[in-house]
Structure 1
């Protein structure tokens, strides 16, 4: 089972999309679990995750988050349009691509 951390300002706006992503992964038998936390919890969650997605509302923190993670897992921002439309399929594909790129 792979694990994706979706971070935002307070971990609240991402809760809807994480539910949709988890439901979709389960429906498609994809061994992946997504959960949301505030960006200030990254260090405590880092050893538990295979990639980190950044909510578009804090995309301006991407470089600082990359520095904090220091290459231990892939880090990317979620596309604002996909996030705004709650396009769980697109965001799930992004997470899977990130995890696969780490394993190569």
Structure 2
């Protein structure tokens, strides 16, 4: 199973995107766990994470998150602003899977 975590300022709008990503994963029969949370909560998150996706509104955290989590094997990336704005769960999911394979 692949594990994708999305973080944003409060976790609200990202939760909508998570639902769309889960629907896309289900339609493609992809075994994936997707969860959303505020950026401030992730530091205490104990679950497995393969990819950490940052909402565009917290893109300023990218360098810090990469420094903290990429040495632990967690890939970090900012969600494309257009895909986020359109709530395009399939595109965001496809990008996360691509990042995992890089």
TM-score w.r.t. length of structure 1: 0.90
Aligned length: 101
Whether contact under 8 Å (1:53, 1:75) holds in the other structure is: yes
1:40-83 Cα deviation digits (max 9, x unpaired): 12222265111100000111111111122142210000000000
Kindly report structure 1 stretches of 4+ aligned residues shifted beyond 4 Å.
none
1:1-104 equivalences under 5 Å are: 1-45=1-45, 47-72=47-72, 73-101=74-102
TM-score between both structures, scaled by the size of structure 2 = 0.91
Q: CA RMSD in A?
A: 1.3
Whole-angstrom CA distance in 2 between matches of 1:52 and 1:18: 13
Gaps of 5+ in 2: none
Gaps of 5+ in 1: none
Cα separation, 2, equivalents of 1:79 and 1:65: 17
Distance in 2, Cα, partners of 1:93 & 1:31: 13
Q: What whole-Å deviation, never above 9, does each CA across 1:5-59 have from its counterpart, x for those lacking one?
A: 0000111110000000001101110111211011112222265111100000111
